[in-house]
Structure 1
Amino acid sequence: MKKSYLYILKCSDGTYYTGVTSNLGNRIQEHAEGKYPSSYTFWRRPVVLVFYSEFTCIKIAIEKEKQIKKWSRAKKEALIEENYHLLPNLAKKKFQ
């Protein structure tokens, strides 16, 4: 069974980039070297891998990537810092 990886990079400007790949080491190296000049991370190097998760189904990895891309910065940071208990409350919209 082929493995897939969901990963989060922290960019030099403090933003986060979320992606999916079947070869994590190779993909991180491509980001670090700036292989794709039109990519989000090209002008935001250096990048640091701050989170990854392994999947056996690429479809689920892609679903999770799309979900995480919609998350707030605070919720992404709770995931990165393994503060899983904070995730449900960070999903709630705050009304004023």
Structure 2
Amino acid sequence: MANNIEAYFYVLKCRDNTFYAGYTTNLEQRVQTHNAGKGAKYTRVKSRRPVSLIHSERFSSKSEAMKAEYAFKQLTRPQKEAYLKQNKCEI
């Protein structure tokens, strides 16, 4: 049952113009954690902060959000940009 909670797949744009993708159950808190330098190792690098949330999708389970994150991470940079533009994200 613990897996059936609302979860989000999200994409951040870092200050160095790279993307970071992840999943969480609390989107606002997670972005704050990244910006505080206490999030993922990738966003702890000072030159990548601050980060800004540019895309999120809500799922009914953590498993679904993790699958969306994995699929996004398999894309090339041009494919990621196309995905984000298709979803009307400002990149």
TM-score of Structure 1 vs Structure 2, range by shorter chain: 0.7 to 0.9
Residues 39-72 of structure 1: CA deviation (Å, up to 9, x unaligned): 1011110111111000001111111111111101
Q: Tell me which residue corresponds to 1:89.
A: none
| Count, aligned residues | 83
SS at match of 1:81: helix
Q: TM-score, normalised by structure 2?
A: 0.82
**1:16 paired to 2:19:** yes
Amino acid at match of 1:18: A
Deviation of residue 29 (structure 1)? 0.4
Q: Which amino acid aligns with 1:41?
A: T
**Structure 2 portions without partners, runs of 5+:** none
d(CA) in 1 for partners of 2:75 and 2:9?
Answer: 15
The structural deviation recorded for 1:83 is 5.7
Distance 2:29 2:86 in 1: 25
* Aligned: 1:64 with 2:64: no
Gaps of 5+ in 1: 85-96
Q: Give the greater-gyration-radius structure (CA).
A: 1
TM-score (ref. length: structure 1): 0.78
Residues 34 and 83 (structure 1), Cα distance of their counterparts in 2 relative to 1, 3 Å cut: closer
Q: CA RMSD in A?
A: 1.8
Q: What percentage of aligned pairs have identical amino acids?
A: 40
Aligned mates of 1:83, 1:61 — CA distance in 2: 16
Corresponding residue number in structure 2 for 1:76: 80
Within 5 Å, give how 1:10-49 maps onto structure 2: 10-36=13-39, 39-43=41-45, 44-49=48-53
Q: Give the whole-Å Cα distance in 2 for the aligned partners of 1:24 and 1:83.
A: 18
